[in-house]
Structures are given as structure tokens and as C-alpha cells.
Structure 1
Amino acid sequence: MMRTADLEYNLPPDRIATEPVTPRDSARLMVVDRADPSRVKDMRVRDLPGQLRAGDVLVFNTTRVLPARFFGRRIGSGGKVEGLYLVSLPEAGGAPKWVVLLKGKHVRPGVVVALDETEGGQSGYSLRVVERREPGGWVVDVEGPRASTGEVLDRVGHVPLPPYIVKARQQTGFVADETRDRERYQTVYAAEAGSVAAPTAGLHFTPELLEQLERMGVERVDVLLHVGAGTFKPVETEIVEDHPMHSEWCSMSRAAVERVQRAKREGRRVIAVGTTAARTLEAYAAAGETPEYLETRLLITPGYRFAWVDGMLTNFHLPRSTLMAMVAALFAERGVERLKGLYERAIREGYRFYSYGDAMVVV
């Protein structure tokens, strides 16, 4: 069992990255030897090819981030409402239904929220609150001209940046550029839309870096996991394993599974680009079959024996998060202690943290 308090660390506010670096692969990269975490090198993401070898398999999550954040006003009172789209429910006639998070006063069934257009003004769409959906969500009817969820969100939605970036920007007076965020809070290989948060380790890759890796014989495998809002939920239980882990849908094609299994048989390394790719790999390894889609509540903590993942490229994560626990599980002994030591080193050396920040690779 693991104490949640062990995942605490103090981060100076100025270490929170409020915007990404340009170009993407100029982000700093801490290279950590998985077998001996005391062996650390400071590099740039563009130097990653020098830390890999021909035959290694890099696994990427190709999800695309939806413009899932929206704003509106309550019809009647005019009160401001902010929300986050989570998922669409199967339609059974009538208005399309979404599950959303809503932040505003006096939200209850029957309330109608008129949605603002992305550029301001009325969009012609509104949300009628139907019922509470645990944990923390609301079922709403989408009222307005008939359109797909993607079309509605393109009209009313904003980039769903994590709250800590929004807060840090407000505190520093940073002026946000919505157009730039729409480009940069998205991987260059994003394909199928469905996430409300980016698989942030992948944000560091450029087309040129991907081409260089391919030329040197690094094999690429694509998987899919749509990142849900639960990824930001801190662990609030005293013991990490008691945390009610959120579920997410993931997908691996049969060909992708076979390529990973072949690499494992041949003794080649499988390296996950991000915690979402790692979660997908381990969920399919545990399934023992290859369904088109798989719902997983897999919680990885120190002591877990990885079946397919040999290494991981990942950003620096929030304290008290399941993501920290997963990265700590990569180390055979004293995982949390070793990871916190690496985080302390990163703070001393001026690394930038969280979604728009720098990265570490453990191989």
C-alpha cells in the first residue's frame, strides 16, 4: 500500500509552464537510466534519437483534443456559466445529450444555459440541464440547429487547458492566444477527436523528429486513448490504492498488438510516449485478447510489474496524482523516493513543469 502523502512535493509557481517552447523539440529532456536512476543526463527532446536504438518501439497515443471548454449565460438570470464537455450519450430520439461539468451558481435540473460563440456573441445553441451524473457531471439536452457534437464544439468551444495553466496565466498577466493554443495543445500526429486533455508527452514531437526516428530504425506503433477529465483529479484518499480510478476507453488494433508482442519476444524495448500510451499497453497486455475497444480502470502504483512497457517519455506531473504513481512504478526499488529526487533535481536545474513543460525519459 502507498500513502498519498508520499506523492507531495513543493513546486515554485514560476516553474509552471504557461506556454510551450518553440520549436516543440527544443523542450528540455531529462534522461534517466531505469536500472540506475542516479545516472541522469540533461538534454533536449531533439536529442532523443541518440538515446534510442534501431529496433526500439515507440508507442504514441493519436487522440485529438476537442475544443471542449465553453461559456454561456443562464437564461432568465443572466448568470455566467463555464463548462467542460465530457462525452455524448447515445441518442434515443429527441435532443442530443451530453455529459458536462458546469461551474456557476444555482445549477440544477431545468436550468437553460445559452452558449456563447467562440468569438463572442450568441451561438444559437443552449444546454438544458436534465439530471445529475456522478461524479460531478450533469446530463444536458443540446438545443439548437441540428449538428454533430464536433460541429457544435467548433462553434462554441475553447481549448480545454488545465486549470493550473489558466490560473498561472492570470497570476502572471499572460495574454492568451486562442489560435496558438489550438495548435500547440495538440500533437502533430493527432487523428481521432475525443479527448478533453492532451497526451502531453507527445506535444514535444515535430514531423522532422518523427522522420529522423523512422530513418534510424525506431519502430512506431499507434494506439488510442481518449483522455478524460479524471486525469487531473488529485488522489484524495489516504491510501493511493483506495482512489476511485476513473475509467477511460482505449484501443489497439490487432496489428499493433502483434507488433508489440513481436518486439517483446525479440528482446526489443517498448517505450511509451506518455502515461496514456503506457496505460493502453498495460490494459491490453492484461486483457489477453484484442477487442476493438477496451474500458480500463487500471491504476499503476509502485510494485506493479509492467508486462509490455520497458520505458516511458513523460512530462513532470502534479503532486498527489496517479500519473506520478505510475512513473514511480518504473523503478524497481524506492520508486517514489527516486522520482521525487528527480523532481527536486529538475526544480533546481530550472525545468518547466506540467502540460506545457519539459519532459523526462526513463529507459
Structure 2
Amino acid sequence: MEVKDFDFDLPEELIAQTPLKDRTASKLMVLHSKTGEIMHRTFSDVLEYLNEGDCLVLNDTRVLPARLYGVKEDTGANIEFLLLKQLENDQWETLVKPAKRVKKGAIISFGDGRLKGTCIEELDHGGRIIEFQYEGIFHEILDSLGEMPLPPYITEQLEDKERYQTVFAKHSGSAAAPTAGLHFTEELLESIAAKGVNIVYITLHVGLGTFRPVSVEDIEEHEMHAEFYQMTRETAEVLNNAKSTGKKIITVGTTSTRTLETIAHANDGNFTESSGWTSIFIYPGFEFKAINGLITNFHLPKSTLIMLVSALAGREHTLHAYKEAVKEKYRFFSFGDAMLIVEGSNN
């Protein structure tokens, strides 16, 4: 199977540049995975597709204000950094522009010296390992100096940093938001819980893989970047109970999906308290052991994300749905509209 099999035409004007004022006002396309049937709804209608005893799984990672602008101490050159993941203590894997100016041993100053970073290792593709020096609390300094790492296809400034966070974001560590979760409000979550739906949380810190295109023709040769995940015992117990009683498990986002499938595949289809690194790559032919449905945004052509959606809903159904989304002028990508993939021909 080749990357070109997941291509589609997307008019640039459909790439959402700003979030809607009301998170739940996004469009919601409901796609039935077995039949390919499509319904056009509003995101708040998602409540109709969730039943008592079902599980809704959310990723509670929090996005770091991970884009930093610094000055190289010896030359005064302006350098841009994107923090990708913390390695140990104050060492971080980063993406650097322009990388050629940052060699091993280079010292970068941020915020007039409130934060300094030393390059201790050079990686491929603009990657650098940086060790930071500072006084005080690192995350407080980062909050004051850093900017939200919006994807490159969003060219407008974000007025409110919190609009690129989910309302349930808790554990800091991501280089990008789990964007399917951006559609939920506290009120909608309360309504879902009141219906008897079990809302559970996992953590997967979104990393370099989000920014990395598929550069091979044969998708089976693509290697995913590892990302850190964590599932608590309480979440595992609720998921196992739902599975044993025939209730649905619906993940919010590809990150939640990858976490659950990683754990289920390692535990004969069951869930257990666990944490670690996953590089699972889900594409057509994948055997799902964990989930029954998925809420997700509309993704980039030829991306690993549309491949995951195609694995669940079928490639033909998925590409037909995307063609319909373009026709109906759905908004695409991080601040765009949503798709709910369900089994069967009704809820």
C-alpha cells in the first residue's frame, strides 16, 4: 500500500486558521464504518451516539508553550526552538531553526538570560539535545517566555493560549494538542456523564511524529516516532468492565486510539495499568482490539492520521467521506470540524 493511496484534493481555504468561539458549534460528520453511510450533524449532537455504560476515552495531556525564541550568545544570531520531549533532568530534545547555526557547545540565551540552553548533541533533521540552565521553576519560566507551538499550516496568531488546550488538559508534556478533544466543553462532558457514560482519561504526550511527514512510498516502511503514554489502574478497570459487558469504547483522537491499541495488543486484548513509549503505526489491515468508535478531526492528505482513520472505517469509505467534507465545506485540521466513526448503520 502506497502513500499516494491516501491523497485527496483539499482547497487551502478549508484549513481552519482560528478556533470557533463555541467549542461545541463545530460540524460533526458521522461515518458508519460498515456501510459508509454519512450524516451531517453538529458536535453537540455527539451525545446521541453515546449510551449508558459506554466509555469515552480522553487524552489529558497538556501542551507546553514549547516554541522559544533565543539569541546565540557569541554571535547574536536569532534562533527558534521547539521543545519536543524531556529526556532527563533539564535535557530536552528540540527542533532548531536555523539548525546549522547551533553546533555542539553553542549557548543560547532566552528572555535576556532568564533561561539559557547549551547544545550537547546534534541530531538529524534539525534536532538538537539542549540542556537548560535557570533559576526558579522551569515550567513557570516556560509559561512566561514560550509560545504555543501551532502547526505550520496555521498562519494566524492565537489570541488566547488556552484555546489550544482541551478543557481537561492536566499533565504537561505535549508539543501539539490532541485536537479532537478541543470540541468538548465542561458542560458537554457533564451532560455525557449524566447520561451514564463513563468518561476516562489516558495520557499520551504528542511529540515529533505529529510534525513528521511520511517520506517513503510504501507505507509499511514508515517508522513512527515514539511517544510517552500512561494509563492508570482505574481507567484500565473501567475499560475492561465495558469490554466484558459488551459496551462501546469510543476514543477521542488518534492519540487515545494509539494508546489503547498499544496496551490491548500487549495484553491479549485487555487493559492494564501501564506506562511506556509507543511507536505503534495503525494503517489498513490493522486488527483493532480495543475500540469500537473514534472521534477525530479531518487530517492532512497522505498523513499517518488519515491512514489510522482508514484502518477503522475503510480506505474507500474514508476518502469518500473526505470528498464529501470538502464539498460541504467542512473546516480541516487542528481548529477544524470533527468526524465520529461508529459501527453499524445507526447509533
Bucket of the pairwise TM-score, normalised by the shorter protein: over 0.9
Is the Cα contact below 8 Å between 1:61 and 1:277 reproduced in 2?
Answer: yes
Q: Select which of 194, 202, 213 maps to 2:173.
A: 194
In structure 2, the partner of 1:281 is 260
Cα distance in 2 for residues equivalent to 1:141 and 1:269: 45
Matches within 5 A, 1:211-230: 211-230=190-209
Matches within 5 A, 1:322-337: 322-331=304-313, 335-337=314-316
Aligned to 1:97: 91
Task: Give me the whole-angstrom Cα distance separating, in 1, the residues matched to 2:219 and 2:138.
Answer: 35
How far, CA to CA, are the matches of 1:133 and 1:148 in structure 2?
Answer: 27
| 1:140 aligned residue | 130
Counterpart of 1:347, as a letter, is V
* 1:152 and 2:131 are equivalent in the alignment: no
Residue aligning to 1:232:
211
Equivalence for 2:8: 9
- Measured after TM superposition, the shift of residue 125 of structure 1 is 1.6
Q: Which secondary structure state, in structure 1, belongs to the residue aligned with residue 153 of structure 2?
A: helix
Instruction: Give the distance between the partners of 2:122 and 2:11, measured in 1 at CA.
Output: 37
For 1:251 and 1:320, the matched residues in 2 are separated by 28
The corresponding residue for 2:221 is 242
Q: Distance in 2 between matches of 1:324 and 1:301?
A: 9
Structure 2 equivalent of residue 110 of structure 1: 105
Q: Which residue matches 2:275?
A: 293
State the 1:41 CA deviation.
1.0
Aligned-residue Cα RMSD (Å) equals 1.5
Unpaired runs of 5+ residues, structure 1, are 117-121, 170-175
Distance in structure 2 (CA, Å) of the matches to 1:192 and 1:231: 18
Alignment partner, residue 309 of structure 1: 291
Maintained 8 Å contact 1:84/1:102: yes
1:45 counterpart (43, 48, 54): 43
Q: Letter of the aligned partner of 2:93 in structure 1?
A: V
Partner of 1:29, secondary structure, is: strand
The aligned amino acid for 2:214 is: V
Q: CA deviation at 1:34?
A: 1.7
Query: Over residues 39-80 of structure 1, what are the superposed CA-to-partner deviations in whole Å (9 max), with x where a residue is unaligned?
Result: 111111111111222222110011111110111122232222
- The Cα of 1:291 is off from its aligned counterpart by 4.7
Closer, same or farther: CA 26–141 of 1 in aligned 2, 3 Å:
same
The two structures have a TM-score, normalised by structure 1, of 0.89
1:88 aligns to what SS in structure 2? strand
Equivalent pairs, count? 338
Shift of 1:134: 4.5
Report if the CA contact (8 A) 1:99-1:133 is conserved. Answer: no
Moved more, 206-215 or 124-133: 124-133
Alignment match of 1:184 (pick from 163, 175, 178): 163
Q: How far off its partner does 1:227 sit? A: 0.7
Partner Cα distance (1:89, 1:297) in 2: 17
**Structure 2 CA distance, aligned partners of 1:248 and 1:97?**
16
Partner of 1:18: 17
**Residues in 2 aligned to 1:220 and 1:142: alpha-carbon distance in whole angstroms:** 37
How far, CA to CA, are the matches of 1:314 and 1:345 in structure 2? Answer: 16
Question: Offset of 1:163 from its aligned partner?
Answer: 1.1
Q: Match of 2:56, SS?
A: strand
- Conserved? CA contact 1:232–1:321, under 8 Å: no
CA deviation vs aligned residue, 1:116-166 (integer Å, no higher than 9, x gap): 3xxxxx252221212113564211221332x34312311321111111113
Q: Provide the rounded CA distance (Å) in 1 between the counterparts of 2:282 and 2:92.
A: 30
